[in-house]
Structure 1
């Protein structure tokens, strides 16, 4: 049977980590917890499950997860977030792969629990993610908040596993709002750094289209009140990101104009004298 390393990156995850580690105890031959200087009981919980603990300052999800994977001793890696756990059916599927793998990477279906409700529509399910893979056949890639693991070219095939990866995302609406603020800030600044902007039409229509798509086309209404809130906040996230993009793009143009004038007339902007 193939041996498996379970790799988890953490930062103040005392609320979630125990559940995650308990769910992998029957399949893990090694547990790696790669922590970003937690100040709560995360490390104590990790050690209580026999995990190998490493600490490293957070440098973005892509780099952090690739560094964490490098710590794995075994050929096969299951990469999880601390707020995720295996369903019994998924556990059985992973055990079958350990006995006789047919591919070099596997997609898992992620089912999200939102404030106590499992969301099966809204574009949130099945939310397939590659999380089980043969080490050295791919890597984490992407931008600051949309990381994904990809197979290298000609590195083999990808399969899909039965069962759900249970994702305990938000315990309250306040958690969701805080996450929207954090991620839209990162996304907007990254987009403007790449030269992107947002028109008034997109700012006005984008959030409305997002709500209609998630709530009607993707059947979010079938998830009841929780589904409505998911779709409403997703639309708000679109509005927040686009409005920030528009603001930061304008500030970037003003700054570039000031710097151009400074170069033309050979003077330094006031701020550089401070």
Structure 2
């Protein structure tokens, strides 16, 4: 049976340290498209050396930039990766198998996180995202942050795990929490909830409990504990910045 051809799509900006491994892991694809936001390091040269089709445009926001990259793809089926993600060999095989006469509009894939100095523990809960999809029946959500693929049609969970080589240190993770909380407050999709002062006080504890205990990151030793604390800090920042915006509006 014939397999649907696959376009792998990656957005980049100064990712010379990770883009080579990312593209090497998807060398089986029929096409690799890289949309760069104007890197000043070797990102584009590395991508071109890996035979990717490289385009450049100014950064338009996470969701819009990824949508622009998807629109550059030639083939109907797209695998969307971040520049610091890789596809292990077993996951690549499952992606290829899924494209043999697919009967759904998209596939969710699990993602394993690198947490500072180790992989998250095997029994911790993995996040899952739609990453493999028919681009004729899918689009980016439009969110400023935590953007996702929205699929018009049935979606199935694929037994394949993406490896995410994320923030390598605590400073990077805290910087990301600060940046993402600002974007989330700015996002036109974000509705301002009530009881913001109560949420500032209570929700960081709830966020820590969910991440550390319910999602199983307590199994990850001190790396899991620190990540849970940063996650709680992110929750606090989000509500604190929403409250700051409310006060600023009242003061004109």
Same structural fold, with TM-score higher than 0.5 when normalized by the shorter chain: yes
**Contact 1:103–1:157 (CA<8 Å) still a contact in 2?**
yes
Q: TM-score, normalised by structure 2?
A: 0.93
Deviations 1:175-202 (A, max 9, x none): 1011111111112233798555653221
Does the alignment pair 1:133 with 2:130? no
Deviations 1:139-186 (A, max 9, x none): 11141002111112xxx3212212210001111111101111111111
Equivalent in the alignment of 1:4: 6
- Unaligned 5+ segments in structure 2 are none
* Rg larger for: 1
Displacement over 3 Å in runs of 4+: 189-198
CA distance in 2, matches of 1:224, 1:117: 10
What is the correspondence of 1:88-237 to structure 2 with a 5 Å cutoff?
88-120=89-121, 125-152=125-152, 156-190=153-187, 194=191, 196=193, 199-237=196-234
CA drift of 1:244 comes to 1.6
Q: TM-score, normalised by structure 1?
A: 0.85
CA drift of 1:121 comes to 7.7
- Unaligned 5+ segments in structure 1 are 256-274
Between stretches 195-204 and 51-60, larger displacement belongs to 195-204
CA distance in 1, matches of 2:172, 2:101: 41
Q: Given the alignment, which residue of 5, 22, 25 partners 1:23? A: 25
CA distance in 2, matches of 1:252, 1:163: 46
Between stretches 237-246 and 3-12, larger displacement belongs to 237-246
Aligned with 2:136: secondary structure? coil
CA distance in 2, matches of 1:193, 1:77: 28
Between stretches 210-219 and 68-77, larger displacement belongs to 210-219
Equivalent in the alignment of 2:45: 44
CA drift of 1:88 comes to 1.7
CA distance in 2, matches of 1:125, 1:14: 30
Aligned with 2:187: secondary structure? helix
Equivalent in the alignment of 1:263: none
Aligned with 1:171: secondary structure? coil
